[in-house]
Amino acid sequence: MKYKINLFMAWFFIPQTLAMGWVAAVGRIILELLGAITQEGDIPSRLVGALLLFGIVFTIHHLRGTLPPEGNPEGNGFIFGHRLVMMANLLASLLFIYPYVSLIIESRDLLMVLGKFTTAFGYWVMAIWVVGFSFLYQSSLPRK
């Protein structure tokens, strides 16, 4: 069960990390269709976009029963792959939370430095997910 949650969160954070602005833009479109006045990249747009993305991933998970890569718990690299995916999920959650927390930070210098770190987190997260998913895929291959 814990492995399914780990993969679910990864599949939520992957599009959120890759297309954060697009997810917020879709949230803004939905809010404006409902009659709300919004600004580009504001908090309600980001939240609505994230909820929509969460619903899409949940629907796919529910209809399919699982999300790839499933892996084999007895295979080589399964635990290590999930640990890497969990580490990437943690970094991606920090990246996801940053726009909400950045509003209360008053120092422009600190905001600039944190902005650079969040960009780096996006690149690190993608690399860690790729390596973690490759270990999970490797664990499902037959042993030779």
pLDDT in tens, 19-56: 988 999 999 999 999 999 888 878 899 999 999 999 99
Residue 6 has φ and ψ, to the nearest 5°, of: -60, -45
Give the pLDDT confidence score for residue 114 in this predicted structure: 87
3-state secondary structure of 65: coil
3-state secondary structure of 122: helix
Helices (H), the chain: 2-18, 20-33, 43-64, 78-101, 108-139
pLDDT in tens, 82-127: 999 999 999 999 889 988 888 898 999 998 898 888 888 888 999 9
pTM of the model as a whole = 0.88
The dihedral formed by the CA atoms of 140, 65, 67 and 75, expressed in degrees to the nearest 10? -20
3-state secondary structure of 138: helix
In whole angstroms, how large is the CA radius of gyration of the chain? 17
Least confident of 3-7, 62-66, 91-95, 115-119: 115-119
Residue 133 near residue 85 (C-beta atoms within 8 A): yes
